Amino acid sequence: MAFEDKIKELLDKRSEARIGGGQKGIDKQHEQGKLTARERIALLLDEGSFEEFDMFLTHRCMNFDMQKKSFLGDGVVTGYGTINGRQVYVFAQDFTVFAGSLSETMSLKICKVMDQAMKVGAPVIGLNDSGGARIQEGCNSLAGFGEIFERNILASGVIPQISAIFGPCAGGSVYSPALTDFIFMSKENSYMFLTGPKVVKTVTGEDVTVDKLGGAMVHATKSGVAHFVGDTEEETLNMIRELIGYIPSNNFEEAPLVPTNDPIDRLEDGLNSIVPENPNAPYDVKDIIHAIVDDGQFFEVHARWATNIVVGLAHMGGMTVGIVANQPKSMAGVLDSNASRKGARFVRFCDAFNIPLVTLVDVPGFLPGTGQEYQGVIDHGAKLLFAYGEATVPKIAVTLRKSYGGAHIVMSCKQLRSDINYAWPTAQIAVMGASGAVEVLQGRALKEITDPEEKAKFIAEKEKEYNDQFANPYYAARFGYVDDVIEPRNTRFRVIRALQCLANKKESLPMKKHNNIPL
């Protein structure tokens, strides 16, 4: 064969590989409002940066006449490229090839990019659109899933792992995304579940649609499985690009500094009056977050789930920080099982990847009731406690208003090795609020007072005594549990200075194989 013919053969094979399962399958994807695997990669990565691996691999299955049906690339596009100049590895399942079902060959391709990502210390991004295991390959397909899952586990805390769901993700397919750090879903066409509606109907008799069982909004609001939801695939891919800008490439690196013209000593006078005089009145803690971070930009994680706690990423003085804040606007900022899980997961991610933690505290306690106790709120609260106590990154906490009881301890208190703890003048750090404390401390005296007016007067006096002692931050400051009481408008400056002070912090944990966090 002449050299020119060999070049033509190569180009023809490349063209064949690039259309996956064929133009008919591509057209069907578009009719359903979905992009193809290659279109997704093109939108995710910097233009012209994608370098592909294993374009010519094909499956090895000989069962059910599969040898007659073969496509170059075999249902997944893999390789590496850049996002804003930073290297990432990517795999994108191709639904036009056997509905993106996982074969042994596909798993080899995926494992190759995961292995290389680990070697060079770069994030790995999986774009999922798959019908699950390829049934014709039997246990070989299941073994492929196992190989991928093991790599997810070994890579955890070493390189960032990001999953995006752009179509079906069912059965065993869900566990690779579940093992990664963040899951993105597009609002239309994406869903995740272990068992589909037909199996649910057969086993439980329950009638449920695909969307109600495992759609994007279900996982964003009810289960907490999805961290982010985009209205379109394009928006979802842009959100992944934005996330990459906040995080380091691996656990040995710091997140990149982002230059800003926002001065660190910018005063926010509005913060001096943002906390209502009524201690039970709500306010939006996100207003405080936007006021103190660089350029008001806050990348919220899990925005629709467990809204009584707010977590997300921002820059302060150009440095990436992870922000955890109680939200008085939702359930008075009380901690419950879901909020504890949400906070703990985020704290551990930040600690794994050297991202300092800034905690804004306004928490009246844990949510009481049989519902919470039966859900195991003790264990879930312990997750958040454990995460903060274990974290060795710089930890700065600012108590805005209430910080009561066990919830005070859980929210990055001094005894959990928090480095710098500030308080606003509005802070109240105590075992419980005044009304509850008076009932406990003055219970016997209250029983002896029969006149309602006299009882009300007595309660008011005792509550005032309690508030005078504890409804301010100075009692905690006397013992060093608060490092300084700061003017709210200076919060941005004080936190950034603290971050700069702690930039070279070194702290280690006792030698162990691994911990046993209360799961």
433 is catalytic: no
Rounded to an integer, what distance in angstroms lies between the CA atom of residue 179 and that of residue 150?
10
- Rounded CA separation 20/38 (Å): 9
Q: Does the annotation count 196 as an active-site position?
A: no
According to DSSP, the residues that pair with 397 across neighbouring strands are 359, 421
* SS3 category, 505: coil
Catalytic residue, from 171, 230, 343, 365: name it.
171
Q: Return the ∠ at Cα 88 (arms to 182 and 38), rounded to 5°.
A: 90
Catalytic residue, chosen from 99, 164, 314, 407, is 407
φ, ψ dihedrals at 148, nearest 5° = -65, -45
Q: Strands, E, within 86-230: which ranges?
A: 86-93, 124-128, 161-165, 168-170, 182-186, 191-193, 228-230
CA of 425: how far to CAs of 231, 429, 477, in Å? 42, 11, 11
How open is the CA angle 365-370-372, to the nearest 5 degrees?
50
Catalytic residue among 172, 215, 312, 433: 172
Spatial separation of the C-alpha atoms in residues 503 and 75, rounded to whole Å: 45
Judge whether 100 counts as a catalytic residue. no
Q: Decide if 119 contacts 150 (C-beta within 8 A).
A: no
406 is catalytic: yes
**Nearest to 482, CA basis, from 424, 432, 434, 433:** 424
Cα–Cα distance between 239 and 360 in angstroms, integer? 25
Distance CA 417, CA 58 (A): 54
Are the C-beta atoms of residues 106 and 177 closer than 8 Å to each other? no
What residues are annotated to the active site? Answer: 171-172, 406-407
